[in-house]
Amino acid sequence: VLDGADLRPGDHAADLYAGVGLFTAFLAQGVGPEGRVASVESDPGGSRDARRNLHDLAQVQLIDRTTERSLRDGSLVGSLEGRVDVVVLDPPRTGAKRAIADIVELRPRRIVYVACDPAALARDLVAPLAAGYQLVSLRGFALFPMTHHVECVAVLALP
């Protein structure tokens, strides 16, 4: 995920559907103290644990609401001072169909999509590809051996 994000010091990154902040912590390291990371999570337990996990990272702003709402009400863009260079998203199994068009409108340099349902990922990649993003890589991971579940990581970039 981090290799695909291609972070640079000073970047502004968003971690959507962030859970307890696993990717947020690594994004914060990648952007450094001069960068910013918005971590968006709507689950109260996940948000609480993210606060505990990320409290010492000054460049992280936690947003306690749905990804869709944070994209529509301006709280995501506002927390990143109007600039979004990289988006990492790890949506639920149903995918990010309600958010993906709004993510594309932000025109981040990179989008890293972590998916637990390859069919939802395929559906959600239509919008960024139609908007000019290129699929840089797509990898599958058998994180749950002896099951049919496959995690996928798709990296999209503007040319």
Residue 79 lies in domain = 2-111
Q: Is residue 44 part of a domain?
A: yes
Q: Is residue 67 part of a domain?
A: yes
The pLDDT score that the predictor gives to residue 104 is 98
Question: Whole-number mean pLDDT of the chain?
Answer: 96
Spatial contact of 90 and 19, defined as CB atoms under 8 Å apart: yes
Look at residue 145 and tell me whether its pLDDT is greater than 90: no
Residues 79-100 have a mean pLDDT of 97
Q: Is residue 25 part of a domain?
A: yes
Spatial contact of 136 and 157, defined as CB atoms under 8 Å apart: yes
Name beta bridge partners: 115.
Answer: 152
Q: Is residue 7 part of a domain?
A: yes
Residues 113-118 have a mean pLDDT of 96
The pLDDT score that the predictor gives to residue 136 is 98
Q: Is residue 56 part of a domain?
A: yes
Residues 6+ apart with CB under 8 A from 85: 8, 11, 12, 13, 108, 109, 110
Q: How far apart are CA 28 and CA 54, in angstroms?
A: 9
Spatial contact of 27 and 13, defined as CB atoms under 8 Å apart: yes
CATH number of the CATH domain containing 30: 3.40.50.150
Domain count, the chain: 1
* 95-111 tens-digit pLDDT: 999 999 999 999 999 99
* 30-68 tens-digit pLDDT: 999 999 999 999 999 999 999 999 999 999 999 999 999
Q: How far apart are CA 58 and CA 123, in angstroms?
A: 36
- Quote the pTM value: 0.95
- DSSP H helices, 6-142, are 22-31, 44-54, 67-72, 75-79, 100-106, 118-130
The pLDDT score that the predictor gives to residue 82 is 96
Q: Is residue 106 part of a domain?
A: yes
State how beta strands 12-16 and 134-141 pair: unpaired
Look at residue 149 and tell me whether its pLDDT is greater than 90: no
Q: Is residue 43 part of a domain?
A: yes
Task: Point out the residues that are catalytic.
Answer: 116
Q: Is residue 19 part of a domain?
A: yes
User: pLDDT class for 133, splitting at 50, 70, 90?
Assistant: very high
